Each structure stands twice: as C-alpha cells, then as structure tokens.
Structure 1
Amino acid sequence: MATLGWEEGGGGWRWRRRLFAWEEDSVRECVNLLNNIILQVNSQDNWCWLLDPIHGYSVSGTYRFLTSFEDQDVVATNTDVWHKLVPTKVSLFAWRLLKDRIPTRSNLARRHVIQASDTLCVGGCGLIETAEHLVLGCELFWKVWYLLYHWIGISYVLPDSVTDHYFQFTHLVGMPRASYFYLKVIWLACVWAIWKERNNCLFKNTVIDPYNIVEKVKLDSFLWLSSNSVSLAFGFHDWWRHPLLCIGAA
C-alpha cells in the first residue's frame, strides 16, 4: 500500500465497489492514522503480546491467564455494578440485567403478562427478545457495541453472555487497572442507553439509531464522570475524540 500510495486518493485505496458512507469515514480515519507512519527498510514489523512481551503469545500462557481467577472473585466482580458516580437507578438496572430480571418480552411471557406470540425483539430481527439477545444479539444493538469499541479504539469479540461481556469489557486485557474505573462507567452508560432506546421504540414508536445511542453513551459517561465535583483533566471534546488517552490507556 505504501508503494501504491496510501495518502488520500492514492492507489492503495482502490475498491471493487463503491463504498458506503460509514466505510468512507473509516477509510478517511485510516488515512489520517497512516499520515505519520514512515516505513523503514531495515526495521522488522512485529506484533507485541502485552501479557508476555518478552516471550510473546502462547496458547498455554493465554489459558493460564484466563483460568487464573478464582471463581468466587469472578462472580463477585461480575455482579459488582455499583459505581459511586453512576445514578443508582442505572446500577440497579445493570444488576437486574445480569440477573436476567429486567422486563424483556421473553420474561414477561414467562410470567404470563403478555402472550407467547408477542415475544419478538423490538429491533425487528424476528428473534425472541431475551436479555442476551437484546444487549448482544440484536443486529441493531450489536452495531452499538461495534461503534463503541471503534470509538474507544480496541478490538473485540462479543461473548454470548451479558455477564461475561461485562467482565470482559471492564477488565480489558492490556489496559491499566486505573482504566477499569472508566470502562465500568462506559459499559453502564451503554446498556442503560440501549434499554431506554428499546423502550422509546416500544412505547413511543421511535426509530432505533445506533449512532444516536453511541453519542448518548459518550455524553452520559462524561457527565457521570464529571459529577460529584470530580476534577477531570480533560473536557468533553477530548473525551469524544480521544477516550483512551483520557483514561490513561494510550
């Protein structure tokens, strides 16, 4: 790509089809990232495995990391959704979500509040609305996580369980422990925004827009972090553009 030219409009950016608008934004962002990259002929390119930067990646080392936590500690961490800067109603909702006690359509049908034929997801995907499906499985709300991870600037693989996802997101491998404080706020803001958007769609017939949900997550998480007279070293513009830098993980 460097030989063909990876500057904007260069030969390294030729596609077989016309790009969508969101793809063009991604390409533009990638071009900006590559502007400051200078390839050196005598330097070898390599990946760095943060868990073991000396010996590198190994399956056994990864397995030891994933199984090194005590079961009780993991369970305690997975249910520890209480955060001093987050509204109590949000933490309470998250606790109920992890316990599968929120009024999803599948839960309401199981309690005979609605008919079994009314359990389809509000996102219009045609599948049953369970807690896991609503937060992680629905195509519309799955895109929220895609955009959120893209905003933070990290790669991801979504697990099937909401509890596993909460633990994975708030304890990202390679992130400093100080960042867990911020990641928990972001996760809580995201599930809360998804639930509110779901209710607005159900009761107010609004259209679900993943981009708007992510913008709400950015704003709510910043407002919660800056509440209670907490002194932040960054403003909303910095938070909106460089979240990793703001949480000390860049």
Structure 2
Amino acid sequence: MDQVREGMSPYYKCSWVPEKCNIFVWRSRLDRIPTRQALARRNIHIVSVDCVFCGETAESVDHLFTACEKSMRAWNRFCAWANIPHILAFSFGDLVDHYKSCPGNKDYKEVIKGLIVVACWCIWKARNAKFFSSMESSWGEIFREIRTLGFFWLKNRSKHCNIEWIEWCKSPLYMF
C-alpha cells in the first residue's frame, strides 16, 4: 500500500510539452503503461515479457527507462549535451525527479524537467516502433528525436521563442 501512495504523489507537469507527454509520464510513474510485463500481469497473451530493446530482462517501466542499455546510452548522451549531472536512477520516479538535483534557477529546472519528459516520450515511441513495426532505432536516433522535439516544443510553446537551433544543438541550456 505504501508503494501505491508513493506512486500517487502529485506529478507537477511541464508547461511547455504537449499534454499527451505529461499524461504519459504521469501514467508511467503509476506503472500504468502497457509494457510487456504489465500486459502479462493483465493476462494478455504475449510471446515474451522480455524487453523489446535488449531482450535481457522483463520489460517494466523501471527497466525500460532506467536500466535498459539502449535507454542508458540515450540518457548518457542527453546528460552530456545538456551539461547536467549523470542520471543515476533506480526507478522511473527517480528519473523524472532528476531535474530537482540540477543546479540553476526555476526556469533552468523547468527546461530540464521538460527535456526529461520529451526523452521519456521519445524512448517510448522508439519502443513502440520496434514492438509494432520491427523498426529499429539506434540510441543516436532516439537522442536526435529528443533534441528536435525539445527544440520545437520549447520554441513554440514557451517564453523561450528566441532560441536558435545552432546554439540549441551545442547546449539546450545556453540561454541561462
């Protein structure tokens, strides 16, 4: 019961990402997305519960976003690009709360929070492309999608409308 209460803690959404991404992160935090493990738990017949990306262990929310090798490579590149501390997350909640440990003001943290949401969304999209269409995405492709969607959404959905693509590609937090 304590885990349920902990998972029910309010998730403060990011204002500049689409609502579907905020809802996705909220549902993921509650372990309410259709990972292979969750499908099997609901008695839905699937061939395997192993991770779509690595095939090494059961595909759970925590594994898919914090332990899978493909996700870890994307997160490592993400942290280097954003110049933020390396993400050491043991659960999905740890991952989405990582922005809290980053130095910087409220606006800086809001951008990092949003980029983490965007990254989770891109990892999930790549997982679904592989699961449903056998389309393989490299960690580099996932990272490029994070960078592209992050730029597009931040520029068009926030007060940071003057950001420049060239500078963004070097560091997304150059404006701080």
Whether TM-score is above 0.5 comes out as yes
Cα shift at 1:87? 1.2
Q: How many residues align?
A: 169
Cα shift at 1:231? 4.8
Aligned 1:1-250 pairs, distance under 5 A: 75-76=9-10, 79-80=11-12, 82-115=13-46, 118-168=48-98, 170-228=99-157, 230-246=159-175, 248=176
User: Whose Rg is larger?
Assistant: 1
Contact 1:125 1:138 in 2 (8 A): no
Q: Find the aligned partners of 1:121 and 1:229 in 2 and give their Cα distance.
A: 35
Which position in structure 2 is the counterpart of 1:16? Answer: none
Contact 2:96 2:117 in 1 (8 A): no
Cα shift at 1:166? 1.1
| Structure richer in helix, relative to its length | 2
**Residues 114, 184 of structure 1: alpha-carbon distance in 2 compared, 3 angstrom cutoff:** same
172-181 or 105-114, which deviates more: 172-181
TM-score between the two structures when normalised by the length of structure 1: 0.63
Q: Give ranges in structure 2 of 5+ residues lacking alignment.
A: 1-5
Q: After superposition, give the CA deviation of every residue in 1:222-246 in whole Å (9 maximum; x if it has no partner).
A: 1111114745332111111122322
Task: Provide the secondary structure at the position in 1 that maps to 2:73.
Answer: helix
* Paired AA for residue 218 in structure 1: R
Contact 2:70 2:139 in 1 (8 A): yes
Task: Provide the secondary structure at the position in 2 that maps to 1:148.
Answer: helix
Identity of aligned residues (%): 27
TM-score between the two structures when normalised by the length of structure 2: 0.88
Q: After superposition, give the CA deviation of every residue in 1:67-100 in whole Å (9 maximum; x if it has no partner).
A: xxxxx9xx44xx11x2332111111111100111
Q: After superposition, give the CA deviation of every residue in 1:5-43 in whole Å (9 maximum; x if it has no partner).
A: xxxxxxxxxxxxxxxxxxxxxxxxxxxxxxxxxxxxxxx
Task: Provide the secondary structure at the position in 1 that maps to 2:97.
Answer: helix
Q: Which has the higher contact order (CA 8 A, sep 6+)?
A: 2
